[in-house]
Amino acid sequence: MSESPPRPPPAAAVLEIGERLAEAPSKDLTTIAFSRELKAQLGLARAIGWVDLAHALSFAKAGLIPRASARSLIVALLELSAAPSSFAPKAECGDLYTNREAWLAQRTPAAGWLGLARARREALTTAYHLVLCDELLDLGEALTAFVEILCEASLRHRESLAPDYTYLQAAQPTTFGHYLQSFAWPALRDLDRLEGLYERVDRCPAGIGGVNGSAIVRNRRELSERLGFREPVRHARDAMWQADLAIEAAALAVTAIVNLDRLCEDLMIFATSEFGFVRLADRHGRASKIMPQKRNPFALAFVRGLANRLLGVQTQLAATARTPSAQMDNRLFAYEAAPDALRSATDAVRLVNACVAEMQFDEARALDALRDRSVCASDLAERVMIATGTDHRSAHGVVGRLLRTLEEKGQCLAQATLGDLRGALRDVGLPVTGVTEELLRSALDPMVCVAARSDVGGACSFEVRAMAETAADAARKVREAVATKRAHRQAALQRLHAEVEDFARGA
């Protein structure tokens, strides 16, 4: 059995120059296209090492690669997996795959077996699935912590009164705890989405040959298992080109970071000296180089900036998928953009986790914002409605006019007297029976208002506690599921490593 003839210089060898192609790639193609493609694949470097090892081992065990060559190839692959400094990918050698091939070819003629029954895209795509799985688990972990931190904070602040705003206008009294927890629930939905996406990504494209199956071997289940996947992607052509996963990953990153962004945009406003409810820890801010007084909430603005970047990635990935099928540009930047979107979301979650855990809430300033009691207007209207039996619309109108009247006198709702209220009722011919001092005072007491919100999901203290427990419990389950998945993957790769080392040693 013969080995291949002496090798040409690396680039030509792996780019088929002088074989299928008459010419080497042009300088433009190399510096413009290959270099960008290569850069976008570097994040797959570690994972493709695993893929190549599993591939080589599988074909070796099937007897398709002669044993000595297989051993030689695997030894070289193991060396390359350690990311040696001699491996410095460059555009002249094409993409990550051919750069690896060129490095291997300098070390062993057995490199010629690497491409056996496999398009480069199979290797890259399998590595991409591995990386996406890891990124999803990291995001799962970060989001779980986010839910937990918010639940804790919501318990701590479940009786800290504050206004709830709509349109940035104070709307009704709430607690800072109820407010904060409202960001935990979208994160739980993100965790649900993440679980669904993980199921879809955790399937192995390996072994599909060129486009629709290999003509010489049946090893897709084996490859899948060796690499720690749940099972092979069923349809070989689909396996090669799944465009939906990148779009879904981007959308998940977007829903996750948009939730953070909304919290951060709120906190930026609450952290102004005019609102003053919240103070970010100095270690999440940044000083100005010209204005000595400033502590800029850098972390918060950063999250918004990153969110907008992910909006762009979402557009890119969806547009990228919209071509005739089986186009390499579907993957060109997606290999980088999809994992990077998840990584960016994870990083944003971590940063916000730290900001929320360490920020201070100023109860006094929050109470100040309730002082004029305008936020109690709807509670007052509802109490008037019930007491007098008048309809909601009329009661609402009465309180609206009462407010205007007070305003004209330079007063606020907190200063309303029983006489004012009864006067407003009488002005439109409504009864005043049941409209008492007690009614007025209860309606204008924010703590009373909050305590009354006791139905599912309401702001009252015990419901905030009950919801926090439910949410934290859900988070705990996700944390365990993530840990299990991570352990499963790691165990598979450790087994693979042991297997290839055995094989390399000839064991």
12 binds a copy of itself per the rule CB under 8 A:
no
**DSSP letter (8 states) at residue 158:** T
For a copy of itself, the closer CB: 84 or 196? 196
Q: How does 373-400 read in b/e, with b if 16+ C-beta sit within 10 Å?
A: bbbbbbbbbbbbbebbebeeebbbbbbe
193 binds a copy of itself per the rule CB under 8 A:
yes
Tell me which of 55, 120, 226, 422 binds a copy of itself, using CB under 8 A: 120
304 binds a copy of itself per the rule CB under 8 A:
yes
* Exposure on the CB side of residue 34, measured as CA atoms within 13 A: 21
For a copy of itself, the closer CB: 350 or 497? 350
Tell me which of 62, 68, 83, 216 binds a copy of itself, using CB under 8 A: 216
Angstrom distance (rounded) from CA 49 to CA 199:
23
DSSP 375-430: GGHHHHHHHHHHHH---HHHHHHHHHHHHHHHHHTT--GGG--HHHHHHHHHHTT-
Nearest distance from C-beta of residue 393 to a copy of itself, angstroms: 3
467 binds a copy of itself per the rule CB under 8 A:
yes
For a copy of itself, the closer CB: 274 or 410? 274
**Residue length, the chain?**
507
174 binds a copy of itself per the rule CB under 8 A:
yes
Nearest distance from C-beta of residue 494 to a copy of itself, angstroms: 25
350 binds a copy of itself per the rule CB under 8 A:
yes
Tell me which of 45, 80, 116, 342 binds a copy of itself, using CB under 8 A: 116
Stretch that binds a copy of itself, among 74-82, 279-287, 478-486, 493-501 (CB under 8 A): 279-287
21 binds a copy of itself per the rule CB under 8 A:
yes
Angstrom distance (rounded) from CA 244 to CA 234:
15
The helix/strand/coil state of 159 is: coil
Angstrom distance (rounded) from CA 114 to CA 52:
8
For a copy of itself, the closer CB: 78 or 258? 258
Angstrom distance (rounded) from CA 248 to CA 416:
54
Residue type for position 49: G
CA pseudo-torsion sign 28, 29, 32, 35: negative
Nearest distance from C-beta of residue 492 to a copy of itself, angstroms: 18
Tell me which of 78, 311, 367, 418 binds a copy of itself, using CB under 8 A: 311
Taking CB under 8 A as the criterion, which residues in 369-408 touch a copy of itself?
369, 372, 374-375, 377-382, 385-386, 388-394, 396-397, 399-404
For a copy of itself, the closer CB: 4 or 86? 4
Element (H or E) spanning 163, and its range? strand 161-166
Angstrom distance (rounded) from CA 90 to CA 35:
7
Tokens of residue 338, six digits: 């999809």
Q: How many residues bind a copy of itself (CB under 8 A)?
A: 211
DSSP 50-75: HHHHHHHHHHHHTTSS-HHHHHHHHH
CA pseudo-torsion sign 99, 217, 70, 78: positive
68 binds a copy of itself per the rule CB under 8 A:
no
414 binds a copy of itself per the rule CB under 8 A:
no
For a copy of itself, the closer CB: 145 or 496? 145
Element (H or E) spanning 274, and its range? none
236 binds a copy of itself per the rule CB under 8 A:
yes
72 binds a copy of itself per the rule CB under 8 A:
no
Taking CB under 8 A as the criterion, which residues in 25-64 touch a copy of itself?
25-26, 28-29, 32-33, 36-37, 64
Nearest distance from C-beta of residue 402 to a copy of itself, angstroms: 8
Tell me which of 10, 43, 89, 112 binds a copy of itself, using CB under 8 A: 112
